[in-house]
Amino acid sequence: MTARTEKPVLEVCAGDIESVYAASAGGAARVELCSALGEGGVTPSVGFIRQALRVPGLKVHVLIRPRGGDFLYTTEEVDAMVEDIRVCREAGADGVVIGALTPTGDIDMRACRRMIDAAEGMSVTFHRAFDLCRNPDEALNAIIELGCDRILTSGQAASAHEGIGMLRRLSESAGSRVIILAGGGVTPDNAVEILEKTGLNELHASARATFASAMSYCRQGVSMGAPGSDEYSRKITSSEIVGQIVEKINKIFR
């Protein structure tokens, strides 16, 4: 295990305020706020953002994504994202997480520049739209040209562990020009291996577990979402899982 001079950073994807508190309790450095994780995440409410900003000891970044599905956006959708970024800035968020692609799978420079301009000095992460782009090398250079601070990516694989080879290549190509944030299936069992084999210093995890509802009365046979879904259990960030990841990655820091 190689000792490091820079402490590893864990960012936790938080879909509710309980998850934000769990991330803090487990020792995460940063949260990415989002809603509808089943859709891959969309922009959370301003009420949720303001509540999260009251949790001490965490940097708060906010996902800017108006819907699920692809990352090809209309002018009206980009307008909405720009307005959401302004709301995040006014609320006091530390950063935003953005991304947009062209129909041919390249970085939509015009849309992204509009969003970055709206961020006005906040930290900007380019999200996992990167993993769906046509050419990762061209996309990397485009994102650097835009001036983003980091790229959240699984290395264009199903998980960060499976994408270790690409993550290592991206890290070497990026150098100090942009931070590569490895995300996708990060667990206590693979976190150290991902950092060690890629040379990266930042990880992104949901660290979720299933928790039963506190409802004492439960009506069966009625679903609010997909047919057959369980309305009386939720996946929430576990402070224990966060703590396990933090403990393990901190062991490579001396």
Judged by DSSP in three states, 140 sits in: helix
Task: Determine what percent of the chain is predicted with pLDDT higher than 70.
Answer: 96
The answer to whether 3 and 252 have CB atoms below 8 angstroms apart is yes
Closest CA to 205 of 187, 220, 189: 187
pLDDT digits (tens, 9 = 90+) for 221-245: 777 777 767 777 788 999 999 999 9
pLDDT digits (tens, 9 = 90+) for 132-169: 999 999 999 999 999 999 999 999 999 999 999 999 99
pLDDT at 4 over 70: no
Count Cβ neighbours within 10 Å for each residue of 36-56 and write b for 16 or more, e otherwise.
ebeeebebbeeebbebbbebe
pLDDT band at 1 (very low <50, low <70, confident <90, very high): very low
Which residues are 4's β-sheet partners? 253
Least confident of 66-70, 118-122, 213-217: 213-217
pLDDT at 254 over 70: no
Residue 222 has what pLDDT? 79
Instruction: Tell me which DSSP letter residue 253 carries.
Output: B
Residue 30 has what pLDDT? 98
Q: In order of start, what are the domains of the chain with their CATH numbers? A: 9-211+240-248 (3.20.20.380)
Q: What are 124's two structure tokens? A: 């900007």
List phi, psi (to 5°) of 54: -85, -10
Residue 5 has what pLDDT? 64
**Cβ neighbours, 10 Å, residue 174:** 18
Q: SS3 breakdown of the chain: % helix, strand, coil, rounded to 5?
A: 35, 20, 40
pLDDT band at 3 (very low <50, low <70, confident <90, very high): low
pLDDT digits (tens, 9 = 90+) for 107-135: 999 999 999 999 998 999 999 999 999 99
pLDDT band at 38 (very low <50, low <70, confident <90, very high): confident
- Residue in the block written with tokens 């939720």: 234
